[in-house]
Amino acid sequence: MNIKFLLDENMPFALIEFLRNKGYETEHIKQLGQGGIRNGEVYQVALEKDAWILTRDSDFKSYHKFVIHPIKGIIVITLSDTRTQNILNYVQQFLETQFEKLLSKHLIIIEEGEIKIYGDSEVK
């Protein structure tokens, strides 16, 4: 299974190479010339790219919006320490411990000390 990521405009560019080096196809919304677009448009780009959204935007934590969009999934990183290396460390830890969650649609919220995972069981 080929897992793809779409990085929202608030994600560090270093995450592109980090994820690509791990074998994930990764694109950044700004590199696609889509910086500044609305969240609804980010969902549309993710749908077109068949990609997971990876963001720091807490608006993407909405379960209602998650279930109505037929995308692969969303990972929201809500850390108080937003330095690039800290984000990379948390993403690395997630991939090492929760990779299988990327195989089906989930809303994943990564916080300090906790990863919250919600499925799409209400979507048929």
Residue 124 lies in a domain: no
Residue 13 lies in a domain: yes
CATH number at residue 58: 3.40.50
What domain range is 79 assigned to? Answer: 4-119
Q: Please, how many CA atoms are within 13 Å of residue 39, restricted to the half-sphere of its CB?
A: 13
pLDDT digits (tens, 9 = 90+) for 64-79: 999 999 999 999 999 9
Residue 103 lies in a domain: yes
pLDDT digits (tens, 9 = 90+) for 80-94: 999 999 999 999 999
Residue 76 lies in a domain: yes
Global model pTM greater than 0.85 = yes
Ranges of H-type helices in the chain:
14-21, 39-49, 63-68, 84-98
Strand order in the sheet with 52-55: 25-28, 4-7, 52-55, 74-78, 106-111, 114-119
The sign one gets for the Cα dihedral 34, 65, 98, 50 is: negative
Residue 113 lies in a domain: yes
Q: How many domains does the chain have?
A: 1
Residue 73 lies in a domain: yes
Largest Cα span, the chain: 38
